[in-house]
Amino acid sequence: MVKSSLWLVSVTLSACVSGPSVEPAQPGAPSPQNPPPQQKLAPQVQQGTGKSTGYDEVLATVGSNVITLGSIRAPLATALEAAQAEWHKARPGKRFPKTEALKVEFSLVQERIHDILLADHINRLGHDPVRVKTLVDYLLANRLAKEREDAGSDQELRERLRRRGMSLDQHRSSLRDSIKRELAVGEELRKIGTGSQLLATPRQMLAFYNKNKTLFTTEAEVDFVALRFDTKAAGDSAETRAKAAATKLRAGEAAAAVAATLGAVVIERQRARPDTGLQAFLTDFAFAPGRKAGDLSAPIPIADQVWLVHLTRVVVAAVRRFDSRQVQAEIRNRIFEKRRFDLLIRITAEEQERARVRISHRFGGDIGRQ
């Protein structure tokens, strides 16, 4: 949420037409830190050999930091798999378009740019750089040792990283950025005192509660079992069978057994809400005022069917009280997260002014543009 809400959001795929809101490339002699627009590829070196294994596409640069396709390949595969699953669930039979895949890829590039900007901030907090480096190295060594222990051996850790499309050096660099980012945010929070929940005064908490009551409202929700009788079936009428079923259900018989005896279809729903697409007659009965668990409808004729609805659980919509300990804890946490979010925006904005950010032409930038 935080990352996608920063300035990078403005660099959407529509920027392929209008251009991104990042600093454009300046004319001049190219350098390793400032590759020319046509330089789309960076050498990829095989771990431990020093030999080039081909080229890796440059997706963005942040100052002297380079974000390549290889550096996000593993999380990209996972994110694309999840995005495709969601796409096909919502649009059965339709192909997953390349534009959607590009959005997923760009979101990971945005996250990586954000991480680099935030990690660089630790170097500007006024601490002794040698002390900061020593602390980062110490924490990095501990994390790698824990990962080796979990993997069973250094070789197995390397193999796990290889399956994720990463070398140990790439993983170490990513961990180092993560540690520096945590230190930067933690130090800023300590400096301004935002880390303390006591900074949320009772008046601020009450104002937040009154402004955001929907966050503290329990939605109406029911579980039910419905029996559906076909009016065209042979034997007793559907309504007669429905009344007989109601008697059995009130006596405590299981709905499945009743349905089997009287020739009905069983429909069960859990955690149903008024906005979850129930048929109107089900919504009208289940969410009528005063409903409680155990309520049983009269036979409901619908076209050539008769329905019987039995409520097994009912949650009535209600606003949770402000003086509840749980509610107050949630309010403190939300206020803290809002302040932390604002802090991250400020830090990233400050670093953006110092670091030159460029992105690939595939996302509307100038890297690789012919």
For residue 91, report the phi and psi dihedrals to the nearest 5 degrees.
Answer: -135, 70
Q: Contact 38/369 with Cβ under 8 angstroms?
A: yes
pLDDT score for 134: 80
Strand partners, 60: 67, 359
pLDDT in tens, 262-321: 999 999 999 999 888 889 999 999 999 999 999 999 999 998 999 999 999 999 988 899
3-state helix, strand, coil in the chain (%, to 5): 55, 15, 30
Domains belonging to the chain, first-starting first, are 3-195+355-363 (1.10.4030), 220-316 (3.10.50)
Is residue 125 scored above 90 in pLDDT?
no
Is residue 1 scored above 80 in pLDDT?
no
Strand partners, 307: 228, 300
Q: Say what angle helices 325-354 and 98-120 make with each other, to 10 degrees.
A: 90
Is residue 14 scored above 80 in pLDDT?
no
pLDDT: which is higher, 364 or 285 = 285
Is residue 192 scored above 50 in pLDDT?
yes
pLDDT score for 199: 64
pLDDT: which is higher, 287 or 161 = 287
Of the candidate ranges 63-67, 157-161, 241-245, the one whose mean pLDDT is the lowest? 63-67
pLDDT: which is higher, 365 or 12 = 365
pLDDT score for 25: 36
pLDDT score for 121: 67
Q: CA 180, CA 61: separation in Å to the nearest integer?
A: 19
Q: Report, as an integer, the average pLDDT of 34-47.
A: 42
Residue 276 neighbours by CB under 8 Å, 6+ apart:
none
**At 91, is the pLDDT very low, low, confident or very high (cuts 50, 70, 90)?**
confident
Of the spans 11-15, 90-94, 197-201, which averages the highest pLDDT? 90-94
pLDDT score for 308: 95
pLDDT: which is higher, 273 or 122 = 273
Q: Contact 339/194 with Cβ under 8 angstroms?
A: yes
From the CA atom positions of the chain, what is the Rg in Å?
30
DSSP sequence for 237-249: -HHHHHHHHHHHH
**Report field, pTM of the whole predicted structure over 0.85:** no
pLDDT score for 45: 41
DSSP sequence for 9-27: GGS-TTHHHH--SSPPPPP
Is residue 24 scored above 50 in pLDDT?
no
For residue 359, report the phi and psi dihedrals to the nearest 5 degrees.
Answer: -130, 165
pLDDT score for 15: 33
- How large a percentage of the chain has pLDDT more than 70? 76
Of the candidate ranges 17-21, 40-44, 89-93, 320-324, the one whose mean pLDDT is the lowest? 17-21
pLDDT score for 365: 81
Nearest to 346 by CA among 122, 180, 118, 124: 118
pLDDT score for 198: 43
pLDDT: which is higher, 342 or 84 = 84
- How large a percentage of the chain has pLDDT more than 90? 30
Is residue 233 scored above 50 in pLDDT?
yes
pLDDT score for 255: 92
pLDDT in tens, 242-259: 999 999 999 999 999 999
Is residue 75 scored above 90 in pLDDT?
no
pLDDT: which is higher, 13 or 87 = 87
Q: CA 44, CA 159: separation in Å to the nearest integer?
A: 18
pLDDT score for 170: 78
